[in-house]
A and B are shown apart, each in its own frame.
Chain A
Amino acid sequence: MKVREHFKKFSRRYVQLIVAVLYNCNIKGFSDGTIWKGSSKGVCVPGLNCYSCPGALASCPLGSLQTALVSSKYKLPYYILGTLLLMGLFLGRFICGFLCPFGLIQELLHKIPSPKLEKSKITRGLTLIKYALLVIFAVMIPVFYSAPGFCKYICPAGTLEAGIPLVLLQKKLRPLIGNIFSWKVAVLFVIMALCVVAYRGFCRFLCPLGAIYSFFQPVSFFGIQVDEGKCINCDACIRNCKIDVKKVCDRECIQCGECIQHCPADAIHFVIRRADRKRRFLQVALTMLAVIFIIAGLNSNGFHDLMSKAVRLCYECMGIG
């Protein structure tokens, strides 16, 4: 019984761990400093996980989006857009809560004893930064300045999972280290420090991928939902949530399910959501759009394009190009 209770309490942590290992199970890469070059790199994982990480078996959706946007004047990135649309539509920010290895890292960092930043109106306001980063660094800089802006200047996952390990493992990369790499390492340490004091600080305030998935929260097929018939409006869910949510499953909710344990009325559950007519219409329309984009992308060699990028080290993303 104790084992069962343990698994029930920590089931999310186990899913996060398994996912992190599965995303990065090219063990050979960690031993010899090379990256995986198989065809699985033509597929995106849902969470933030740098494809230049020696262990990564598949591509990062945010990195893929940026590199696709860099060459978007030559070819529209239907495949990546369709993939993002489909993943967001099916899972929304459930991906942030369960399927993002960098989310797990942030949660572990937050366990380090230190003064903690409580959520407030200010932290709620800070959550808007990620939308600005999405527009400026993940869209505008790639499109107008032909550089994967977020990967190149900010992404802490890229520095932690790819930049630092590869520079340590491959001597030949060390002469390439310049100011941008130093900047990225500094950004990584600042973000890690932020995550020690603020629960999921990167997710809440800075992650453009979380910003993308947040748009799908109202329409995602699967997710956490409050049973209005059972809810006693005690607000225990909101009070006990460490994220800047105003209500369960709003744009900030990472669907971690913590509120389920705190609900005295057992009114919150993970469900395949029932949708009203308007929402169902949106779901159907967006699913069709995602499928059309993916088919169009596959027809225009999108899988191969993504794979051919992801099997090569992105020196620029690592800040050493």
Chain B
Amino acid sequence: MSRYGRIFGLVLTMIFCLSSLTACGAAAEPGMGATKELQVGDKAPDFTAKLVDGSEFKMSEHDDEVVLINFFASWCGPCMGEMPVFDRLKSDNISNFSVLCINCEEEKATVDTLVKEKGYTFPVAYDEDGAIGAKYPTDGIPYTLVIKNGVIEKTFIGAGSAEEQYKEYKGAIDACMK
């Protein structure tokens, strides 16, 4: 390797060393790395979310019912694949039950376009700064929690087909209703 090559390699290596050290020193995303995932039996953290339809969803106001919370994003294939399930659950008109899908850190405009294009009828919340996600830390999405009286009853990671997910979620909701 020529002198140029060696110098270039050295500079490049130094850049990578420095950037890696910077990266290692950088603060992790709030609540994402340091906090453990919520477990069944844990109290569901309270949050207030702004919804696409302009209203608000306050978790503590749903302490007396069963709530299904789903974290999703437009770039996540499995998330988009299971979205019809939430429309179906909404149209089932289950009493004492709420569903809420929380978008993970995408811009309002993106979420608005997505909801309009897909015609979702269930409540969709923004979480542009990841503040709600930080209270419900997870390694990946889709991430779904079924909560009864403010306590986490069941969690789901990933997603199969819409039909499979409907059965899974409906089963968990029915179990909570008993």
A67-B75, A74-B74 in contact; A269/B4 too (CB < 8 A)?
yes
Q: Which residues of chain A are near B20, meaning CB under 8 Å?
A: 22, 25, 40, 57
B23 within 8 A of A: yes
- Comparing A207-215, A238-246, A286-294, A307-315, the segment that makes contact with chain B is A307-315
Specify the chain A residue showing the minimal Cβ separation from B17.
A22
How far does the Cβ of B17 sit from chain A's closest Cβ, in whole Å?
7
A37-B28, A176-B158, A320-B158 in contact; A222/B75 too (CB < 8 A)?
no
- Comparing B62-70, B102-110, B170-178, the segment that makes contact with chain A is B102-110
B73 within 8 A of A: yes
Q: Are A314 and B4 in contact (CB under 8 A)?
A: no
Q: Which residues of chain B are near A35, meaning CB under 8 Å?
A: 139
A-B contact number at CB 8 A: 135
- Comparing A8-16, A129-137, A185-193, A194-202, the segment that makes contact with chain B is A8-16
Q: Are B110 and A38 in contact (CB under 8 A)?
A: no
For A223-261 the 0/1 string (1 means CB < 8 A from B) is 000000000000000000000000000000000010010
B52 within 8 A of A: no
Distance between Cα atoms of A71 and B109 in the complex (Å): 13
Distance between Cα atoms of A184 and B28 in the complex (Å): 31
B95 within 8 A of A: no
Q: Which residues of chain A are near B74, meaning CB under 8 Å?
A: 70-71, 74
Interface size on A, residues (CB 8 A): 57
- Among B13, B73, B75, B157, the one with the most A-chain Cβ atoms within 10 Å of its Cβ is B75
Specify the chain A residue showing the minimal Cβ separation from B26.
A38
Within 8 A of B (CB), among A135-163: 146-148, 152
Q: Are B9 and A15 in contact (CB under 8 A)?
A: yes
Interface size on B, residues (CB 8 A): 46
A172 within 8 A of B: yes
Within the complex, which residue of A38, A260, A272 is in contact with B28, where a contact is CB–CB below 8 Å?
A38
Q: Are A312 and B139 in contact (CB under 8 A)?
A: yes
Chain A residues within 8 Å of B, Cβ to Cβ: 8, 11-12, 15, 18-19, 22, 25-26, 34-40, 43, 57-58, 67-68, 70-71, 74-75, 98-99, 146-148, 152, 170, 172-173, 176, 178, 222, 257, 260, 269-272, 301, 304-305, 307-309, 311-316, 320-321
Chain B residues within 8 Å of A, Cβ to Cβ: 1-2, 4-6, 8-9, 12-13, 16-17, 19-20, 22-24, 26-29, 32-33, 73-78, 80, 104-107, 109-110, 113-114, 130, 138-141, 157-160
Task: Show 17 A/B contacts (Cβ-Cβ < 8 Å), sorted by A.
Answer: A37-B29, A37-B33, A39-B23, A39-B27, A40-B23, A57-B23, A58-B23, A70-B75, A74-B109, A75-B107, A173-B157, A305-B106, A308-B73, A309-B73, A311-B32, A316-B77, A321-B76
